[in-house]
Structure 1
Amino acid sequence: MPKTRILSLWFPRLGAERLLRTAPHLASVPFAVVRDTGQMQVLSSLSLMASQRGLTLGQPLRDAQAMCPELLTKLQNPQSEATFLSTLRRWAGKFSPWVAEEAPDALNIDLTGCAHLFGGEEKLLVQVVEDCADLGLTACPGIADTLGAAWALARFAGRAPGADRSGDAIDQEARATRSRAVKRRHWERGGAPPSAAQPLVHTSRIAAVGKTHSALGPLPIAALRLEPEVVQSLSRLGLRRVSDLSGQPRAALARRFGKGLVLRLDQAFGSAPEPISPAKPDISFSTRLTLPEPIGLESDMQAAVDRLLPPLCDALRRAGQAARAVRLEAHRTDGTMGWAVVNLARPADVPDRLRPLLYMKINEIEAGFGIDMIRLEVTRAEPTQDRKTTGHLDAAHAVSQRLARNTAIDDLVGRIGARIGMEAITRRHPASSHLPEKAAQVLTAAWSDAAGPWPQPPAARPLLLHRPEPVTAPDTATVPQEFRWRNRTLQAVAATGPERIAPEWWLDDPDWRTGVRDYWQVTTDAGDRLWLYFAHGADMSPGWFCHGSFA
């Protein structure tokens, strides 16, 4: 059986180069994609020329414009970038059928048993880089036995000598300042831990089979996919390379920095499994309308939705599917996009059931400088109906049930859920338990059918059920004539019972450790109808408790 080989393909400039493909004139000037954080705009992706001007990822836009006044920017479109990454995933299927996306800018490919089809891993790597260059993309690949090692090689292998060293190293100090190095307060002063955004040089990014330790040893500890705080803490202790960590006691590392550090080490070296889960085949249901002139009125958006819904529902019916979630996308003239998602309580393939929900979401989309393209996409689809074998005698009844099904409640749940969320609407269903407090379960109304006939218990159940409360009475199984409950002394006028209920022996429920219970309906002289029980006390002392009250 061949050894597992993983290719990690990282696109460090995916957001910017995606836009440069459609606007080549931007390649001659510094260009960046900015992300709106709510308080300010920061750089999320840079072109090569922008990086050469000294701009960095996460830098505020105002600082970047001060450093580079000729910088051109565009707002980030996360959905379009995710769609572009999905397109690249389908392209990468030429190298292996086992491809997974790693949002927001990488692909993970399982090359096990596939590299020989391209003449070996070296030639395959060359073809990958050349194909990406033809697509106008910068690609940083890495091949190793594990996903963690391939991830590290793709982002950190080939770094220029000294790029991963901190300026606080004693051999980097000037001779006149070495004597004062011990007086520094912080170990990390003089340099920061390396980051994946630093420039890379072209070297081999392939770790030979079984050579993962030697390939990862010289890399910085940030190559282990650690949190920035952990990287800084390790740097203060002088642990800057992977080889510095691999020889340390695991128990001490876990106590000081948590189990996440040890897990990342084990995943990189193959001691802990980290399989690649390929994406499901794309089954897309979408329609779009390109407008000759930008629009911005709500009525125009409604008219566009009316034109898009019929062909979308026709496509769903032909495939035997129904929409469970639909996304309305409004592409603006400045290249940005506004969107809104509607969820349905029941799958629908009829325009009349989708139209009211989409109308409710239109006013949440900002038109900006105008909308020139509207798109509807089914983000989650389900089969129209469950398929099951039906005999000739039951076929007519099954068809009549489907045709006569009333969707008014489902549409109402969908409209309310569009305002407050589907998870906020619940319904109660009978549960398979004979314990009183577990006889019902709460389910989300959008993901459950209406409850059928409820099973009838052997005896009546109280309207109000609460946690068992102690009752002061003699520890005997007979109903007490006088007892004290909630600081009240009550007299028993009538009693009905007992109903014996035993705990579920396969579960350890703290409320049922008192063992078998005998329940009684007790009417008091004050008019209260209480649900009392006597716990026989299998594991503790017996006693009387009140579990609820009748109306």
Structure 2
Amino acid sequence: MSNRRILSLWFPRLGAERLIRAEPHLAGRPVVSVQEDGPARRLAALSAEATQAGLYRGQPLRDAHAMCAALVARAADPRQEAAFLGALHRWAGKFSPWVSAQPPDALVIDLTGCAHLFGGEAALCAQVTQDCADLGLTVQAGIADTLGAAWALARFTAQAAEGAGGRSGDAIDQEARATRARAGKRRHWERGGAAPTGPQGPLPEGAIAAPGKTWGALSPLPVAALRLEPTVVEQLTRLGLRRVGDLLGQPRAGLARRFGRGLVDRLDQALGAAPEPVSPAAPPERFAIRISFPDPIGLEEDVAEAVSRLLERLCARLRARGRGARALRLEAHRADHAMQWETVLTAVASDDPHRLMPLVRLKIPALEAGPGFDMLRLEAVRHEALHARTVAGHLEAAEQGRQKLGGDAGLDDLIGRLGARLGMEAITRRHPGSSHLPEKGAQVLAAAWAGPARDWPVPAAPRPLTLWPPEPVTAPDSPDPPERFRWRGRDWERSGAEGPERIAPEWWLDEPAWRSGARDYWRLETTRGDRLWLFYAHGAALSPGWFCHGAFA
């Protein structure tokens, strides 16, 4: 048996308690998070009050409302819950540097060589429990020599303690359907209810398995503690193998032949016969540089010079990692302990300080120096990978430089400077749309997040310079272009016509403006010199007629 010690932390109410932290007025009320399950909506996480009201995970929402009129339900947000678990991951780093997340609601910590720093494993678990109570979180912990054993102790020790009076203590995913008819006098979790997760308190007896005692700690636990598939658990229960101890004395070849290799592998992992390492997540790459001053500075030129030095060092680090900054954060710490910050967005990812400095300099006048700045910090809060560049000779490099100066580099710098003043969302560009309809032939995108449009499709006929929603035209109900018509309260006379160009609606979409059916577009030139784009709608769900859709230059 190895000398490893693993701590498993399970947060059974993570989703609901995150909602309570975000909305403190919900404290003390039955709160649940709801997730979509096909056409049904089911409870995903429950607060302690909701569990006390008789609700359980997986219950349909309408049944929960019928049982608890005061129920507060919120939609589950997996991204927010993952971010919250990531924050707990950073918090758990105080106990050991070897921490791994087990989404959606658990953490695993390798405590090898760390527990004595907190007064022992029991004292460390007490500290974990107290910290979680301060955060308003419910936690169940288990410590053992292996990851599988710690996982089982964290989730099933409380059940084993509650069911120690001679009953089986099986949870819903462990008990066979055939045995439920004879379980009338069992407690709710023995009849098939959720595992009890009562108020926060000290760890139940047996949650910490002594070194080398994994076998004895796992024996009284139900077979679901081995992280088996529900179908395997049900088959084992039907055969009377309800506890892990019932499996330890069985021939391994027979277990593998009947239930698959997965059962034997999980058993070996829990007992330490098969390796199961704790793999911590790699820390995110952070690019930040700071500079401190012996005396506070307040002049704009001094701040700009300091930022220029910071930017050169930051870009050197970005260049070494093959990254380019997309968003920079400049923090200015004043001598009176106040802090100001400005965010700079760029049109394209860059590691060139000469291109980034003009953008940062535009934000410096917005800083209020007050008694002066004693520290500046510059961080690339968003960065992207830069494509590798091919090294070229002098002739090719000169040609590429000339093309770059006359190409997109100047436009990117212009977009960056305008975005620093107006906001990146205010700078837009048009891109071709995936539709043959005139009004959907182009789409407007943010210039900073979309590259230049290339390979615009060439329509079968010229398109007008200006488009507007189709406006009705008073003219004879005939598909031939009218000699005279009335539009916008004025009489018009035709001097020339080109067309027609038939455009059919997209049959797979229901466009309200195209319910009039196929259109025949004409380019009409009037006696006043106007060139209009008129079409005749042949009529489908709406009546036919003439409309004006745009004007040419």
Q: TM-score band (shorter)?
A: 0.5 to 0.7
Deviations, residues 118-141 of structure 1 (Å, cap 9, x unaligned): 99xxx98852553798x9x96654
Deviations, residues 347-399 of structure 1 (Å, cap 9, x unaligned): 11111111112222122222233322211110000111279xx9x99xx9999
Deviation at 1:302, TM superposition (A): 1.5
Deviations, residues 330-351 of structure 1 (Å, cap 9, x unaligned): 1223333211111111111111
Deviation at 1:467, TM superposition (A): 0.7
- SS of residue matched to 1:457: coil
Structure 2 CA distance for partners of 1:397 and 1:456, relative to 1, 3 Å = farther
TM-score (norm 1): 0.53
Aligned Cα RMSD in Å? Answer: 4.5
- SS of residue matched to 1:369: coil
Does residue 301 (structure 1) correspond to residue 303 (structure 2)? The answer is yes
2-side partners of 1:470 and 1:459: how far apart? Answer: 22
Deviation at 1:515, TM superposition (A): 1.1
From 384, 387, 401, give the equivalent of 2:386: 384
Equivalent runs, 1:380-459 vs 2, <5 Å: 380-385=382-387, 404-406=403-405, 407-459=409-461
**Comparing 521-530 and 408-417, the one that deviates more:** 521-530
From 477, 483, 486, give the equivalent of 1:484: 486
Partner residue, 2:476? 474
2-side partners of 1:542 and 1:403: how far apart? Answer: 56
Partner residue, 1:127? 124
CA contact (8 A) 1:472 1:485 kept: yes
**What fraction of aligned residue pairs are identical, expressed as a percent?**
47
Partner residue, 1:185? none
Partner residue, 1:503? 505
CA contact (8 A) 1:129 1:139 kept: no
Equivalent runs, 1:52-201 vs 2, <5 Å: 88=91, 90-91=93-94, 96-98=99-101, 110-111=106-107, 127-130=124-127, 141-143=137-139
Deviations, residues 12-53 of structure 1 (Å, cap 9, x unaligned): xxxxxxxxxxxxxxxxxxxxxxxxxxxxxxxxxxxxxxxxxx
Deviation at 1:305, TM superposition (A): 1.1
- SS of residue matched to 2:295: strand
CA contact (8 A) 1:99 1:279 kept: no
| Alignment-mate amino acid for residue 521 of structure 2 | Y
CA contact (8 A) 2:96 2:109 kept: no
Gaps of 5+ in 2: 1-7, 19-85, 142-188, 201-279
CA contact (8 A) 1:533 1:544 kept: yes
- SS of residue matched to 2:326: strand
Structure 2 CA distance for partners of 1:215 and 1:89, relative to 1, 3 Å = closer
Deviations, residues 193-248 of structure 1 (Å, cap 9, x unaligned): xxxxxxxxxxxxxx99955787489xxxxxxxxxxxxxxxxxxxxxxxxxxxxxxx
2-side partners of 1:474 and 1:124: how far apart? Answer: 91
CA contact (8 A) 1:6 1:112 kept: no
- SS of residue matched to 2:444: strand
CA contact (8 A) 1:432 1:439 kept: yes
Partner residue, 1:287? 289
Equivalent runs, 1:504-523 vs 2, <5 Å: 504-523=506-525
Partner residue, 2:247? none
CA contact (8 A) 2:101 2:108 kept: no
TM-score (norm 2): 0.53
Q: Aligned pair count?
A: 341
Partner residue, 2:37? none
CA contact (8 A) 1:5 1:112 kept: no
2-side partners of 1:401 and 1:336: how far apart? Answer: 47
| Alignment-mate amino acid for residue 551 of structure 2 | S
- SS of residue matched to 1:416: helix
CA contact (8 A) 2:100 2:109 kept: no
Deviations, residues 309-330 of structure 1 (Å, cap 9, x unaligned): 2221111111000101111111
Partner residue, 1:333? 335
Deviation at 1:533, TM superposition (A): 0.7
CA contact (8 A) 1:96 1:110 kept: no
| Alignment-mate amino acid for residue 503 of structure 2 | I
- SS of residue matched to 1:379: strand
CA contact (8 A) 2:516 2:542 kept: yes
Deviation at 1:288, TM superposition (A): 1.1
Deviation at 1:296, TM superposition (A): 2.0
CA contact (8 A) 1:96 1:111 kept: yes
- SS of residue matched to 1:447: coil
- SS of residue matched to 1:446: coil
From 312, 315, 319, give the equivalent of 2:314: 312
2-side partners of 1:433 and 1:444: how far apart? Answer: 20
1-side partners of 2:533 and 2:340: how far apart? Answer: 57
**Which structure has the larger Rg?**
2
| Alignment-mate amino acid for residue 404 of structure 2 | R
CA contact (8 A) 1:517 1:534 kept: yes
| Alignment-mate amino acid for residue 477 of structure 2 | D
CA contact (8 A) 2:328 2:345 kept: yes
From 339, 342, 345, give the equivalent of 2:344: 342
2-side partners of 1:125 and 1:503: how far apart? Answer: 72
Structure 2 CA distance for partners of 1:216 and 1:535, relative to 1, 3 Å = farther
| Alignment-mate amino acid for residue 552 of structure 2 | F
Structure 2 CA distance for partners of 1:513 and 1:498, relative to 1, 3 Å = same
Structure 2 CA distance for partners of 1:426 and 1:124, relative to 1, 3 Å = farther
2-side partners of 1:329 and 1:479: how far apart? Answer: 66
Structure 2 CA distance for partners of 1:138 and 1:383, relative to 1, 3 Å = same
CA contact (8 A) 2:10 2:139 kept: no
Structure 2 CA distance for partners of 1:292 and 1:113, relative to 1, 3 Å = closer
